[in-house]
């Protein structure tokens, strides 16, 4: 089987690539390297080589099973080439960040909506066995009800959230109109090794960890009481691969998270313990488009995917701190 991982040089995508290679699968990556990094793929290959064995115990060739296409999902010619002969599409490519979308909503729409539509058309024509789309918890917006479950009305607050919801709707429409096997997974604040802490739009956990390891105060936007269902990357990798296997998941959009929530002050407290530092945070104004609280109901994913978190919050945070400390 051949798996296409769009955005495969990115944070989440490279972890999916790593696990597929470890399992002996053939992987094609489509990435324009605007945010993805070649070193992420190098790391994925190295770790897959360590972990993957053939049945007789001999080391198999990982690089021979990896193909990289440098190109943009907005280019239909490139997308057509990338999907040719593919059995499964794991669509991770996106222009991330709520704040980036607030500054440039046109770019978010172009990549996240039009790019996804390009892939859906190409995947339909290639007759893929499954199209798995990486959506976002941001589609729920600031609805006060917790946990967020899939029956709730979506209320996206940012152009990024709107783009993810629109792409979800395209996936569901392709299921209904073309009988295409699509699955949408709503990620909740994924974190782990290889997440870039240097970008202005980086997620909070890598920024906190790297700042504190340098002895610098992390910045909290708002009062620090905003809460998130932080989800270690191995959990979403597992969900993506389950989505390729479970027919019950077809046609659904479902949450993938841990079903727990922690505030940014909780995060800071736990990182003090893990990093051995005592750096107090600084506080800034809350950012437009950010939701206050987020926590997932994961019953639908449990039912349709057989999904359960395989790495807890504390274990995931421990592994992440170790990686940024140079021990990964």
Which residues are part of the catalytic machinery? 160
Provide φ and ψ at 108, rounded to 5°. -60, -45
Q: How far apart are CA 202 and CA 196, in angstroms?
A: 6
CB of 168 closer than 8 Å to CB of 94? no
Whether the bond between 12 and the residue before it is cis, its omega within 30 degrees of 0, is: no
77 CB-near residues (< 8 Å, 6+ apart): none
CB of 116 closer than 8 Å to CB of 133? yes
Q: How far apart are CA 66 and CA 14, in angstroms?
A: 12
User: Beta strands 227-228 and 262-263: pairing type?
Assistant: antiparallel
199 CB-near residues (< 8 Å, 6+ apart): 35
Provide φ and ψ at 216, rounded to 5°. -105, 145
CB of 3 closer than 8 Å to CB of 86? yes
50 CB-near residues (< 8 Å, 6+ apart): none
DSSP letter for 139, please.
G
Q: How far apart are CA 67 and CA 30, in angstroms?
A: 9
DSSP letter for 63, please.
G
């Amino acid at each position: 089987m051949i798996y296409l991982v769009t955005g495969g040089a990115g944070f989440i995508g490279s972890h999916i690539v790593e696990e597929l290679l470890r399992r002996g699968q053939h992987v094609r990556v489509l990435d324009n390297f605007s945010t993805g990094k070649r070193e992420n793929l190098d790391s994925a290959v190295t770790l897959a080589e360590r972990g993957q064995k053939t049945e007789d115990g001999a080391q198999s060739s990982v690089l021979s099973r990896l193909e990289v296409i440098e190109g943009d999902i907005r280019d239909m010619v490139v997308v057509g080439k990338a999907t040719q002969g593919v059995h499964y599409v794991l669509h991770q490519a996106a222009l991330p960040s709520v704040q980036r979308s607030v500054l440039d909503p046109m770019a978010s729409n172009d990549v996240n909506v039009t790019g996804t539509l390009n892939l859906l058309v190409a995947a339909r024509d290639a007759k893929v066995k499954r199209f798995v789309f990486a959506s976002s918890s941001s589609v729920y917006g600031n609805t006060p009800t917790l946990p967020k479950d899939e029956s709730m009305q979506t209320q996206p607050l940012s152009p990024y959230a709107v783009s993810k919801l629109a792409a979800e709707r395209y996936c569901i429409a392709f299921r209904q109109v073309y009988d295409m096997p699509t699955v949408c997974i709503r990620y909740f604040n994924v974190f782990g090794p290889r997440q870039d802490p240097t970008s202005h739009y980086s997620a909070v956990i890598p920024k906190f960890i790297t700042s504190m390891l340098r002895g610098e105060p992390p910045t909290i936007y708002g009062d620090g009481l905003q809460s998130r269902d932080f989800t270690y990357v191995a959990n979403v990798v597992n969900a993506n691969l389950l989505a390729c296997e479970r027919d019950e998941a077809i046609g659904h959009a479902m949450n993938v998270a841990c079903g727990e929530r922690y505030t940014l002050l909780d995060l800071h407290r736990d990182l003090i313990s893990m990093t051995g530092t005592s750096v107090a945070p600084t506080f800034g104004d809350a950012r437009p488009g950010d939701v206050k609280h987020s926590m997932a109901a994961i019953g639908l994913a449990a039912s349709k995917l057989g999904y359960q978190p395989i790495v807890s919050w504390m274990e995931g945070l421990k592994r992440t701190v170790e990686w940024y400390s140079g021990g990964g």
